Amino acid sequence: MAASTFAFPDFSLRFFPIWRRNFLVWKKLAFASIIGNIAEPLITLVAFGYGLGSLLQSVNGIPYIQFLASGSICMSIMMAASFESLYSAFSRMHVQKTWDALLNAPLALDDVVLAEMLWAASKSLFSGIAILLVIFMLGIGLHPHTLVVLPLMFLIGMTFASIGLIMNAVARGYDFFTYYFTLVLTPMIFLSGVYYPTTQLPPWLQLISKLLPLGAAVNLVRPLILGEWPPTPLADVAVLVVYCVVGFYIATIFTRRRLLK
């Protein structure tokens, strides 16, 4: 059991029917789901972008509404991927017993975890695209650089979905996720340059910000939305990939321990 618990995930195309199953279920309530996922970042964008933006005209020469919009996309993707990999995945695993039914089919637990991660990333991509369309209507991001944001949004979604599945594997109830949102995601938002430049932080916090997945995401997406190229793309992509790969591996181990013991 120990050897199989720590073995590297066995990838195959068997995850796709599970992904498709989740997609078909979501499609019935797709409009309400997307509206729900973009409501908070959209309200934040309007309230802070125009409210605070009327007092704070620009940040580093960038109109504040544009500065905030480029960070809100990353925040929206993070929240959408996290909600799906936490509350929805936990419901399928623990409450609805969907995972138990899937494991009675010729599927491995690794297939289920991989499908959940990719589905959460896909759902976050849908939300990110919806936010992107909103900022297009505001006249922000209308240039070719923005096309590069699309694959980055999926990578960001995979990263936070992988981390979320770790929490899902150790949670005993929905209340556990409150700690994750309060103690991990919320501080990360304030440390990652969504609302203000990280250059305003002390040097040691700036270093932490660069090592956070949301910080790396903002560093990649914001310049592209503003029509520029990221200053350190390889380093920021590497941060996201490390969190994604290591997070998914740990999530697989913890899920095996929970369901195969």
State how far the alpha carbon of 4 is from the alpha carbons of 104, 113, 147, 244, in Å: 19, 15, 41, 21
Tokens of 164: 């979320």
Classify residue 64 as exposed, middle or buried by CB count within 10 Å of its CB (0-12, 13-18, 19+). buried
The pLDDT, as a whole number, for residue 1 is 43
The pLDDT, as a whole number, for residue 206 is 92
| Average pLDDT value for residue range 133-158 | 92
Which residue type is seen at 214?
L
Lowest mean pLDDT among 27-41, 125-139, 172-186, 195-209: 27-41
d(CA 182, CA 186): 6
* Best-predicted range by mean pLDDT (12-26, 124-138, 210-224): 210-224
pTM of the predicted model, to two decimals?
0.92
Q: HSE-up of 21 (CA within 13 Å, CB side)? A: 14
Tokens of 89: 């995945």
Q: Tell me the per-residue pLDDT of 32-57, one tens digit each, with 9 for 90 and over.
A: 777 776 777 777 777 776 776 666 77
Q: Tell me the per-residue pLDDT of 86-103, one tens digit each, with 9 for 90 and over.
A: 999 999 998 888 998 888
d(CA 53, CA 56): 5
Q: Tell me the per-residue pLDDT of 152-163, one tens digit each, with 9 for 90 and over.
A: 999 999 999 999
225's CB contacts (< 8 A; 6+ apart) are 66, 69, 70, 73, 135, 140, 141, 145, 146, 149
DSSP states along 208-234: HHHHSHHHHHHHHHHHHHTTS--SSHH
State how far the alpha carbon of 19 is from the alpha carbons of 24, 167, 230, in Å: 9, 20, 32
The pLDDT, as a whole number, for residue 261 is 63
Residues in the chain: 261
Say whether pLDDT at 250 is over 90. yes
Of the chain, the percentage scoring pLDDT greater than 90 comes to 56
Helix (H) or strand (E) segment spanning residue 55: none
Tokens of 3: 């050897």
Phi and psi for 139 in degrees, rounded to 5?
80, 20
Helical pair 149-170 and 64-83, crossing angle rounded to 10 deg: 40
| Average pLDDT value for residue range 187-200 | 91
Q: Which residues pair with 59 in a beta bridge?
A: 62
Residue holding tokens 């040691």? Answer: 204
The pLDDT, as a whole number, for residue 53 is 64
The pLDDT, as a whole number, for residue 3 is 43
| Average pLDDT value for residue range 52-63 | 75
